[in-house]
């Protein structure tokens, strides 16, 4: 592929996002006094190009003054991948647009597809209990509306199957913009699909959970998806998920 072909593909990519003007910005660096901070222990995880929501060379070139309403407007009545064929409603996300904590799940289920909101079914009710119950026990005054919740894909996969890589790639550009617009203090990935999409790893939740990773310099914790915790035999996983959530809440809100 020639440089001209790559440039043409890049321009077509931004045209599809609704961007009509690109500006080059000059970054100036200056010496600053060091500031001592105490971040959580981070496990460096390489982000694979195939799992990155947009091509790695294009990541810095997002719309200036991006916002959640603008991202939703750019998605529009999306027909970019096959998932649109069976959807009732597009499920963008919900919660505080300036949240310090963002939860990322896999994709909408039947209840979410019907209501157009993420995590409103049984798994969503459990997630709400986890957030509010753990916060209450730990003395942290937050409720579900204080965080932001979204998914890797915005349309329900047929029969709740796992999203295909090309579907996650297509929707990933909008998830990337959501996270970069909110810029939370931490991200909590719910389940292996969200973890793999954000970290570009093939490892499962059991190996990833309980320790800090990093997504574009934002600390990220991986834990079990609430739907997995609904199964009666996953008692140990429930305890581990609550431990993960406590770590996240204390880091973000203490």
Per-residue pLDDT of 140-150, as tens digits, reads 999 999 999 99
pLDDT computed for residue 233 by the predictor? 84
pLDDT computed for residue 156 by the predictor? 97
The 10 Å Cβ neighbour count of residue 206 is: 12
pLDDT computed for residue 34 by the predictor? 38
In whole angstroms, give the CA distance from residue 40 to residue 190: 19
pTM of full prediction above 0.85: no
List average pLDDT for each run of 10 residues in the chain, which is 254 residues long.
56 52 41 41 44 39 87 96 96 98 98 98 96 96 97 96 95 96 98 95 93 96 96 90 97 94
pLDDT computed for residue 209 by the predictor? 96
* Domain residue spans of the chain: 40-253
* Helices assigned H by DSSP within 17-164: 68-75, 110-115, 122-137
pLDDT computed for residue 95 by the predictor? 98
Q: Which CATH class is domain 40-253?
A: alpha beta
pLDDT computed for residue 232 by the predictor? 83
């Amino acid at each position: 592929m020639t440089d001209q072909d790559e440039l043409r593909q890049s321009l077509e990519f931004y045209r599809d996002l609704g961007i009509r003007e690109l500006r080059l910005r000059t970054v100036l660096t200056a010496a600053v006094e060091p500031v001592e901070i105490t971040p959580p222990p981070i496990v460096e995880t390489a982000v694979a190009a195939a799992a990155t929501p947009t091509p790695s060379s294009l990541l810095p070139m997002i719309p200036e003054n991006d916002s959640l309403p603008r991202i939703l407007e750019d998605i529009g009545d999306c027909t970019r991948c096959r998932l649109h064929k069976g959807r009732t409603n597009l499920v963008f996300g919900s919660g505080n647009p300036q949240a310090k904590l963002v939860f990322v799940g896999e994709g909408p289920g039947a209840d979410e597809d019907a209501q157009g909101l993420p995590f409103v079914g049984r798994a969503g009710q459990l997630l709400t209990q986890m957030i509010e119950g753990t916060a209450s026990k730990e003395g942290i005054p937050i409720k579900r509306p204080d965080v932001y919740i979204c998914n890797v894909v915005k349309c329900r996969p047929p029969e709740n199957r796992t999203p295909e890589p090309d579907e996650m790639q297509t929707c990933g550009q909008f998830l990337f913009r959501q996270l970069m617009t909110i810029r939370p203090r931490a991200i909590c990935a719910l389940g292996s699909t969200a973890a793999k999409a954000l970290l570009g790893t093939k490892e499962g939740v059991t190996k990833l959970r309980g320790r800090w990773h990093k997504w574009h310099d934002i600390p990220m914790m991986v834990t079990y998806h609430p739907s997995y915790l609904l199964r009666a035999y996953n008692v140990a996983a429930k305890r581990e998920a609550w431990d993960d959530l406590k770590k996240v809440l204390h880091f973000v809100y203490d």
